[in-house]
Chain A
Amino acid sequence: MKQTKSLRSNLGRVRGLGSAGHGTEHWWLLRVTSFILIPLSLYVIGNFFVSVIGGGYSDAILWLRSPFSATLVILFLGVAFHHAANGLQVVIEDYIHCEGLKLITLVIIKFLCAALAILGTLATVKVLFGV
């Protein structure tokens, strides 16, 4: 009978993180966020576009003030910035090879994505509850 023995440790096999130790989370989340963004970005960016090409202030506020739109906008901010951060991370890792600069750039980009998502969320909540 043929016996094959893997060199992989039992712990390594159970963890399932692969030879680089990262697993598949980045890859999977990029796909999931892409899929969600198909309808979500069409709706949110569509309304944004209609507003900036000449829709008025009151129309835009009316649209944003509904709980439905506000929820979708906040969801969009979270998902889109996560998708952008993930994609930009891949680009940065491809082109910047100096470890220090790569790390700093990655941290700054991810921080900016988080900060902008929070800023957008706060603005949406402000429109929803008052102004």
Chain B
Amino acid sequence: MTSQSASNKTRPLSPHLQVYKPQISSAMSIFHRITGVGLSLGLPVFVTWLVVLAAGPNLYIKFADLFQTAFGQILLFGWTWAFFYHFCCGIRHLLWDAGYFLDIKGMRISGWTALTVSSLLTAVIWMKTYGYIP
């Protein structure tokens, strides 16, 4: 009944990615999904931090040093941006659920606001981290 036969897999679909120009609406939506999955991959890292804290200072130093490497810093930066982006877009979703910004103009305004605010927050946090702002 629900088994996938060869004929099921080869049925044609109407084109979407091939024909629609990327817009603020679709782009922000897919990035909300991508950052969500990315943050889900980051949650085990948070749990590792807790485990390492419970394990003692020796193991903790090894763990913390991983984040001082270039790759570690890139990962942290990516996760920070993903966090703020998913955070701001999440609030945008909650506002939609409450009934706000549901028209086209509101969608654009809230979209660009979320993108700007999340980028600014990421930039501020990292400038503070590297000491460019006190």
Chain A positions near chain B (C-beta within 8 angstroms): 31, 34-35, 37-38, 41-42, 45, 48-49, 51-54, 57-58, 60-61, 64, 73, 77, 80-81, 84, 87-88, 91, 97-99, 116-117, 119-120, 122-124, 126-127, 131
Contact = CB atoms under 8 A, between A and B. Distances in A.
A58 B68 CA distance: 18
B60 A84 contact: no
Q: Which of B33, B39, B46, B61 has the most CB of A within 10 A?
A: B46
B80 A49 contact: yes
B43 interface: yes
B57 A98 contact: no
Interface of B: 2, 4, 33, 36-37, 39-40, 43-44, 46-47, 49-51, 53-54, 56-57, 60-61, 64, 67-68, 76, 80, 83, 87, 90-91, 93-94, 97, 125, 129
20 contacts: A34-B90, A35-B94, A38-B87, A38-B90, A48-B49, A49-B125, A54-B68, A61-B53, A77-B47, A84-B40, A84-B43, A87-B37, A88-B37, A98-B4, A116-B47, A117-B47, A120-B46, A122-B54, A123-B50, A131-B56
A53 B67 contact: yes
Q: Which of B2, B33, B37, B49 has the most CB of A within 10 A?
A: B49
What are the 8 tightest A-B residue pairs by CB atom distance, in nearest-first order? A123-B54, A123-B50, A120-B47, A126-B54, A57-B57, A84-B40, A123-B51, A57-B60
Contact of B44 (A48, A87, A116): A116
Contacts of A119: 47, 50-51
Interface secondary structure of B, over-half rule: helix
Given A52-B67, A88-B40, A124 B50 contact: yes
B53 A45 contact: no
A99 B3 CA distance: 8
A123 B53 contact: yes
Nearest to A44: B46
B90 A91 contact: no
A92 to B, nearest CB: 10
A31 B97 contact: yes
A84 B129 CA distance: 28
Contacts of A88: 36-37, 40
